[in-house]
Structure 1
């Protein structure tokens, strides 16, 4: 079929009057139709994620119903799927459409009673002994995006080959107006929330509670859950940024609702200053990430928070079978901490879906540099995904203990630098308008690796697409540099970005401040050279 015929076929089966009208208005506009029908959102290990709108290259009710039908085919009749949703545009509609398709195919579906954080959905899959879970969210993406994240029965996000099986099943789905739709699904009550709160408040938070926290849910769905978690754990109620306290799908006070983006935390930092807070915490919109800052506006990196939480967890747990895990793009410091505590350590590919597949012991802690942490205790991890609520509790307990001693999180970071050497990390992220530029850059990096970066010899270049260190193949390269430094480069899995992860290790022989200044100079030199090499 030509583009116009495909658009008319889409209109005929689309249950949404808004996207039908959108396509009706575009009939005759070949360029606009080509943009929507010339490609499709691909279902992968991140599920689906993209801009809202009509056509197979957009997030809409047809795309979601096809995804649900594909998932139903892979699971088979009689299986149980839990469905959660955030407060983005159409998230609740997509959740109900998923339930209708699943129950129409003979599966059992349970929907969360309201908008809840992503980690609560991940928890619910295992708590309810379900076979799979679906979370309708685009996490920290722009306001016009939405997404569809699939979890398996272990409560972790899907990995290959399950993603390919679901994708192939989606391709076999016909018209969605011919799918049988059910109406008999279960709406869960708050008992799932209570069980989650019981689990995350049982992690090793520490005994101290006197800490004043400034907090923002960044217009997302984490606010009420975090406040209840803090109350149950015995912490004083955080001061909350009023303008960002309630869910807002338009994210009206931030240009990009990601705590890592410049300016995103400005309002909570202002509140912290005005309230005399000891600690600043921000969740991203679906509350699976946790950003941390201290008075004065110093925001900690994900690697810094990960290192602090790792020691906090290891001090609060027991057993030489304990396992801590991070990713190949995160700091190497966690390996040194694990060695010091005599516990097992593993590295995974990027993303919590891979962290949760690590073997070698009883996992008590996992983290990735992109502000994702899963904090566990002697019973293991309550959530098999990153959890911004549980991480916030643990950080608050850590900050409270430091305050008791007249110290801050920055003092604890200095302690670690003296013990293990200063491990300084930094990102370099380049957004492109033409996605083909990323593939071209990766090919250049493989074919012609640089001989030197930041004044350091590249002593080893590794093509991660061939697999490295026993890990599955992935699209990336890793350069080992002279003098204990490293660069990893990979395409983003969810955005049109090329991402680089830099690390230098500086021994602390005098003042920590001197080592930090040296590390910043080293990272700046790496960034400058790498930007030239990438040529984007």
Structure 2
């Protein structure tokens, strides 16, 4: 307890934020050992995802001291004279953390361009390359709960950092002394809307969007920062303005209408689906709070709507990009936890395909000629013959392209569901699902992974385990990562990995079934879908039993 108190008092002496000072003083006065241990018994680790955690006092929280130390470490790694672009979303303290970062960086002799208002994450990623900067910082916690915030670092290529940069920056952060001794500057450049968002809009509206525009869209930015930009993008591309969920349109860091501000979470899309039904929308689109992800819903033939999975959208956008770009060196990429469908589409069209580790920092580094990449968690980067406008997930660019795809299908008397059936007949039905187990104790995840490594299952449900691969050893030329991949009989697959941003163990399931051929009736696909649902349910239950969490 004495050491915890000493560290807390040292923290108090350097903390410039009256709110977190008051919080910590209250904890000390109450003698709350558990609260002190929670805040000072560990620290937020800086990695390839940067920093992310709950707001509050201490090294195990997101606060002004943590952020200023991170900025000082980045400044030390870059060196004086380098140029850094800083953006932020509308979460609690995002603007404060952005300004603190600008003050520390300019105080260390770096040049800083700070966006003058909240912006989506893809705009920051675009800005790094557009301005020729050496690095970028985005203050955001994406779709995490309201009390979280985060800090993402981009390098000069416009993509998130990868090893060994993360270790180098982390070591530099550890060497930072008290933040009260840091020299602070104030002479940074303020980026206007015209300086960044207009070039971004010009880039994404130059994507291969076709000519069809007849489409009714229902849209929600889910209390985040993507709303105004998406409306501008649709207008610039010639689409009619989407109907918007008014209760979720204005940025609000408390996310009052959703339990979790993530389109994948149960109930998060309820208001958007209600609006779609009311307006007779042909397409439902949602961005997450920092607008780097894009969720898609479609009307059902018998009434109502359903959300498409990230893998379904990934396959549709992948084939759309492939058939609207040219050149022998084109490459498409998806993460190892995404469906294997994209690889079959690429092979059929004579386009190269790469499989990467999870995370867009790896996807955009898949190789030269990359025109498209996606991961199943609603993340897509879309390009044309000129390459990728954004070397990260881009929920606004993806929304434009899915709207173009849907409008083209509508012109031809088809729906996105028809296009999915067409792909199932051509490449086999690739059905995917997830099992996520949230825990309070991270040691439970480590224990489950250790058990699976020491005793791999021989069967999972009705499937024989054909091979068990430990991704920590590095497989297929991929860098090592904490994960396990099971290839199963019948073309099925399971990948198990700890989440990089949440206390979850995530399992990604895929089954592949024949669905007739191009001339087969629709009933063949419907039958395959029903069988796939049963197979996924059985596989999910088997994986859950094997995890024993």
Q: Aligned to 1:516, which of 499, 524, 529? A: 529
Aligned twin of 2:434: 427
2:74 aligned with 1:79:
no
For residues 155 and 213 of structure 1, the distance between their equivalents in structure 2, rounded to whole angstroms, comes to 30
- The answer to whether structure 1 residue 532 and structure 2 residue 536 are counterparts is no
The match for 1:414 is: 421
SS in 2 for 1:2: helix
Q: 2:351 maps to what in 1?
A: 343
Candidates 38, 53, 58, aligned match of 2:56: 53
* 2:268 aligned with 1:264: yes
Structure 2, unaligned runs of 5 or more: 517-522
| Deviations 1:321-347 (CA, angstroms, capped at 9, x unpaired) | 100000100000100100111011101
1: CA distance between counterparts of 2:455 and 2:208? 48
Residue by residue over 1:61-111, the C-alpha shift from the partner in whole angstroms, topping out at 9 and shown as x without a partner, is 000000000000000000000000000000000000000000000000111
Number of paired residues? 535
1:297 to partner: Cα distance: 2.1
Q: Which moved more, 1:50-59 or 1:203-212?
A: 203-212
1:42 pairs, out of 30, 42, 45, with 45
Map 1:91-130 onto structure 2 (within 5 A): 91-130=94-133
Separation (CA, whole Å) in 1 of partners of 2:461 and 2:379: 29
1:228-377 alignment, distance < 5 Å: 228-295=232-299, 296-359=304-367, 361-377=368-384
* Structure 1 gap ranges (5+): none
* Counterpart mapping for 1:56-205 below 5 A: 56-190=59-193, 191-205=195-209
**Post-superposition offset of 1:54:** 0.3
Moved more, 489-498 or 361-370: 361-370
Q: 1:491 aligns with which of 498, 501, 516?
A: 498
In the aligned structure 2, how far is the partner of 1:31 from the partner of 1:274? 50
Q: CA deviation at 1:6?
A: 1.0
Aligned equivalents of 2:415 and 2:284: distance in 1? 12
CA distance in 2: counterparts of 1:291 and 1:105, whole angstroms: 41
Cα shift at 1:30:
1.3
Q: Separation in 2 of the partners of 1:350 and 1:205?
A: 28
Please name the residue that 2:15 is paired with: 14
Please provide the CA RMSD for this pair.
Answer: 0.7
Q: Could you list the runs of 4 or more consecutive aligned residues of structure 1 that deviate by over 6 angstroms after TM superposition?
A: none
SS at match of 2:334: strand
Quote the Cα distance in structure 1 between the aligned partners of 2:510 and 2:544.
15
Cα distance in 1 for residues equivalent to 2:461 and 2:308: 24
Q: Post-superposition shift, 1:163?
A: 0.3
Deviation per residue, 1:122-155 (Å, 9 max, x gap): 0000000000000000000000000000000000
SS in structure 1 opposite 2:171?
Answer: helix
Which residue of 2 is the match for residue 32 of structure 1?
Answer: 35
TM-score, normalised via structure 1 length:
0.99
1:429-481 alpha-carbon deviations (Å, 9 max, x no partner): 00000011000101111111111112110010000000000000000000000
- How far apart, CA to CA, are the structure 1 residues paired with 2:495 and 2:171? 31
